[in-house]
Amino acid sequence: MRKLMSHPKTPAMLARCRMLAHYRMFVLAMIVFAMAMPAQAQLSGPEKKAIAYIKAHLDSAMHLLVESVNINSGTLNIEGVKRVGALYAARLEKLGFSIEWVNQPDSLHRAGHLVATHVGGALKKGKKLFLIGHLDTVFEPDMPAGPFTMLNDSMATGQGVNDMKGGDVVMISALEALQAAGQLQDMNIIAYFTGDEERSGSPHAVARQDFIERARTCDIALGFETATGLHQVAASRRGASNWTLDITARTGHSAMIFKNDFGDGAIYEAARILNAFREQLGAEQYLTFNPGFIVGGSEIKIDAQDARGEVVGKTNIISPASHVTGDLRFLTEAQKITARQKMQAIVAASLPGTHSSISFKDGLPAMEPTAGNLRLVQVTDKVTKDIGIGETTACDPGIRGAGDISDIAHYLDCLDGLGAPGEGAHKAGETIDLKGFPLMIQRAAVLMSRLTR
């Protein structure tokens, strides 16, 4: 034993030991936390059985979460997206789901989508559910993000850990609990995992054609995007579109800038326009517009497919070209149209010696807070009160961006934000709240049970 204990460990072995130690701390903390939860007096027998299964199989949920987070699946990493899809498909196939992989046209340069369908025994009874997840993350292989890492006994980080691999695992684990409780057998469900939610293939209508067609065969859509805490869900989400700003200008020696024969240059014109957007539209509720990509200089080259640019520029040359792309998010179609009109007017007032043009491209429509969506909030509120979490309300749509569910929101009743709780989505250091994670699995299982009866 002394020889074994003194044997030098490799860095990989040490990292695994640390991971196991943190994992054991997490499991112990979850057991203590579950024991402290209030009594669940309003739950049916099968619902109690599903919750008991979730508590007893947290290690299985955690294993799936860790394994999927450790696969890089940035939208453009086609093989990585497919690997995550295969991982989830294996779990769903064991539950009796039929598995399909929906390929996209080669021109879209996207991996495709995973579709899992469960046909219940009671074909004409209960609501048919359309469950939404996505396989991709914003973290491409060359971006700063890391593997699954425990930060303490209740918090972990990793690429896509809450947006939205945590939500995918919430969905799958809830379905496993429903099977264990004998409830899944009669449910009619389509679980749809898109492979390009973070950066949809273009044209978007082609990328989402199959998604929309299948959703329209269902009654209720449930989205498992990141939870907004333990007490809120999303009955509405803002829509999203893109804009592209192109600027040309007269060039020359930098000593001549602002002179009548030369003008102000393309970079000053870009700065004027962006600042005017901020000043004139920045205070409008539910409206946001973010310039996420900008290049300007003596020579510019744009690779729109890979969202990259090359620039050559010198400080003694007036810049002849600038290019900016960004998004525009809105709660209603009317708000989107009005914002575009204001942006066009700002662009038209060009600085001397410059010419600017702006174009817009539709992305995701808005998911408006309909009466049907708000009724789903009421059902969820009863669920969370019954399992001891407390009340649930609809979150402010201004804190959420667009999502896949927006594409189908005008066809059926929808609810989103049913995934894993956490913070920092879309940036390195994204986290998941591991104490809230099992509670969200419980919420999802009981909610699906009640909606299909």
What CATH number does the domain containing 276 carry?
Answer: 3.30.70.360
Across residues 6-26, what is the average pLDDT?
50
Q: Are residue 66 and residue 142 in the same domain, yes or no?
A: yes
- The mean per-residue pLDDT over the stretch 275-285 comes to 96
Q: Tell whether 92 is covered by a domain.
A: yes
d(CA 392, CA 417): 12
Average pLDDT score over residue span 331-335:
88
C-alpha–C-alpha distance, residues 236 and 398, integer Å? 9
Same domain, 231 and 284: no
What CATH code is carried by the domain that includes residue 76? 3.40.630.10
Number of separate domains in the chain? 2
| pLDDT for res 48 | 97
> Within a domain: residue 373?
yes
The count of other CB atoms within 10 Å of the CB of residue 379 is 15
- The residue out of 364, 386, 421 marking a domain boundary is 364
Which of 364, 387, 404 is at the close of a domain?
364
Reported confidence tier of residue 18, pLDDT bands at 50, 70, 90 = low
User: Do 58 and 190 sit in the same domain of this protein?
Assistant: yes
Beta partners for residue 246, in sequence order: 323, 357
pLDDT score of 304: 83
Q: Which among 207, 181, 258, 238 has a CA at the least distance from the CA of 448?
A: 181
In the chain, the percentage of residues whose pLDDT exceeds 70 is 90
Report yes or no on 32 lying in a domain: no
Residue 1 forms part of a structural domain:
no
Question: Which pLDDT belongs to residue 32?
Answer: 46
Specify the pTM.
Answer: 0.77
Whether 227 maps to a domain, the answer reads yes
Which residues are registered as beta bridge partners of 240? Answer: 329, 364
Q: Which of 364, 383, 400 is the last residue of a domain?
A: 364
**Can you list the pairs that 116-119 forms with residues at least 24 positions away whose Cβ atoms lie under 8 Å?**
116/88, 116/89, 116/92, 116/190, 116/191, 116/192, 116/193, 117/189, 117/190, 117/191, 118/184, 118/187, 118/188, 118/189, 118/190, 118/191, 119/188
- Are 129 and 142 found together in one domain? yes
Furthest-apart CA atoms within the chain: distance in Å: 86
The pairing of strands 189-194 and 129-134 is parallel
Residues 6+ apart with CB under 8 A from 29: 153, 154, 434, 435
Is there a single domain that holds both residue 55 and residue 145?
A: yes
* Average pLDDT of span 306-332: 92
pLDDT mean over 149-154: 94
pLDDT digits (tens, 9 = 90+) for 56-95: 999 999 999 999 999 999 999 999 999 999 999 999 999 9
Planar angle of CA 65, 428, 89, nearest 5 degrees: 25
Shared domain check, 215 and 182: yes
DSSP 8: P
Average pLDDT, the chain: 90
**Assigned domain for 14 exists:** no
State whether 380 and 348 are in the same domain: no
398 domain residue, yes or no: yes
In a domain, 128, yes or no: yes
- Give tens-digit pLDDT for 334-361: 899 999 999 999 999 999 999 999 999 9
Same domain, 51 and 81: yes
The yes-or-no verdict on residue 38 having pLDDT over 70 is no
Which residues make beta-bridge pairs with 365? Answer: none
Residue 174 belongs to what domain range?
A: 39-237+367-451
Clarify whether residues 88 and 219 are in a common domain: yes
Extract the tokens encoding 345. 């007017």
Do 251 and 230 belong to one domain?
no
- The reply to whether 215 and 267 lie within a common domain is no
| Same domain, residue pair 276 and 257 | yes
